[in-house]
Chain A
Amino acid sequence: MSNEYISDLLPNIKAMCDSEEKWRSKSLQDTIAAHKEEVEKLLEKANLFDIWSNQLQDSDAAKRLIPEIFMDAYTSIHFACYGLYKYAHICLRSQLETSLRLIYFSTHPVEFRWWLVGNEWYRTGLRARDVWGEGYGYFEQLPGIKRFEEICGEAYRLFQNARKVPKIYQTLSTYVHSGVFSFQTKSDLFSPTYRVEDFYKWHGNFAEVQSYINILLALAFEDRFPKMTKASKEKIINIGIESASHQESIKNLSGL
């Protein structure tokens, strides 16, 4: 923002703009200086939604929700680079939730149209927190996910045993509901600042969320994923999915 523009502002807005310019540029510089390769890789993960967007373009739900899923990932990186780790995590919860909704809505066009106009009768009618019902039973019933859970080691299962997805969802929810360990401010530090331990905590969660989203989309759209070009499938698996065990299971199921 130009100094000339700032000088014309009212005093509180001027103070805010002055201060923001300082802490934002310092946090961004410190983060990029320490983690440029890591941030680059996370951006590559976010860009995988270009492939999903292209592959699922005939789905109304995908057309509306994938841009939001991308934007949550992008904004999460943006916030984290400015030291706003709590808000970076909130974006991840939103991203995961929207991805689960995409899977549900892709085969529930009527419910999708209700949801688009804000008709959330399921909250009372189904007594459920979300469109897919209570818990994660809906996803466990999907044939692709069932097969994946069968061939995956117990320690790697998404919904059963290891409960990877419910666990990360719960972790991210503590940021939404402001659990004390997820506060943005610390007793000894108030301003948004690059902190290596907070960066790595967020970085791990970001990679984990992208990984589960890519796995779930590949399994839920099991008719579409194998039809992608070899290069696209390899990108999704090698860049998008974290654990070697998960990568192998997806390769196995998609005949790669």
Chain B
Amino acid sequence: MRTGLKNNLLDDLWLPIIHKFGSAHLTPSKKNKEMKVLTLTSDHDYQEIARLEEDKLTTRQCVTAWTYSHFKKLRLETEISPAKVAGTTRFEDSIWSTSLSIKNQFPFHLINLDFSSQDPSLEIGRIEKEIACLEGTLKIQKDAGGHNFVLTYTTIINSSQLDYSSVVKLSNSLLVPGWSGLTATDFPPQIDKYEDKMRCIRETLAKMCLKYNYECEAEAKGILLDDLPGYVYSVAAIIEERGA
């Protein structure tokens, strides 16, 4: 994602939500909130780490960055040390792996799943895979005892159809006792309009949160791209365990 777009999201969406979460859930007396952060980022535009530090929300030691590229990992490790840098694989492919390298670092206070920073190939099925990855992330976070946290999801929405039927099929293949599953009729099987895709993402995230016994307070923003038809769309959510 380009620097300007990311700054825009940081200012208007991510940081206000993160501050709100910090005030509600992290020790108010502490000067630095030291949030444990997982961020999907790139070797050039990793300003979210600096911004979180400037705002006293975290320190480098508490950050794990994930990037899809050996070359980017090489550069990021040099630039953001002592933060940890993981990856060289696609996070959405790795989340289901039994050997996910960062599994034992969960739970995080902030999970920034910015897929637009990972050189997405914009192939058919990309967003569906990312939505499944949201669920995988919620599941790991839950299993690791994550009660309250911030989840931001950012993607590129282009003209490709969103196959809602495959989103439903993937999610419902993961059974959770007492959860009846996503309803196939909530959206058309193939979603064409940008606005409908955005609504689908937001509502599906909220339902997935319910599935894992979380409540989700989300805000979202779409920014029109200037170099290809479509949007960068970002949802930022405070996720809290129900009844906690």
| Chain A residues close to B by CB (< 8 Å) | 43, 46-47, 49-50, 53-54, 57-58, 60, 63, 66-67, 70-71, 74, 229-232
Given A58-B99, A229-B121, A231-B123, does the pair A47, B69 have CB atoms closer than 8 Å?
A: yes
CB-CB under 8 A from B143, the residues of chain A are none
A-contacting residues, B81-102, CB 8 Å: 88-90, 93-94, 97-99
Taking the closest CB of chain B, its distance from the CB of A195, in whole angstroms, is 27
Taking the closest CB of chain A, its distance from the CB of B163, in whole angstroms, is 16
CB-CB under 8 A from B69, the residues of chain A are 47, 50
Asked whether any CB of chain A lies closer than 8 Å to the CB of B46, the reply is no
Binding site of A, secondary structure by majority: helix, strand, loop or mixed?
A: helix
CB-CB under 8 A from A57, the residues of chain B are 89, 93-94, 97, 99
Closest A residue to B101 by CB, please name it: A63
CB-CB under 8 A from B98, the residues of chain A are 58
CB-CB under 8 A from A50, the residues of chain B are 68-71, 88
> In whole angstroms, what is the CA distance A74 to B97 when docked?
27
Taking the closest CB of chain B, its distance from the CB of A126, in whole angstroms, is 29
Chain A proximity mask over B100-116: 1 for CB below 8 Å, otherwise 0: 00000000000000000
Taking the closest CB of chain A, its distance from the CB of B43, in whole angstroms, is 13
B121 touches A231 (CB 8 A): yes
Taking the closest CB of chain A, its distance from the CB of B136, in whole angstroms, is 14
Sorted from nearest, which 6 A-B pairs have the closest CB atoms? Answer: A70-B70, A54-B89, A57-B89, A53-B88, A50-B69, A54-B90
A-contacting residues, B39-83, CB 8 Å: 68-71, 74
18 intermolecular pairs with C-beta atoms under 8 Å apart = A46-B70, A47-B71, A49-B70, A50-B70, A53-B70, A53-B88, A53-B89, A54-B88, A57-B93, A57-B97, A60-B99, A63-B99, A66-B88, A70-B70, A74-B71, A74-B74, A229-B121, A231-B121
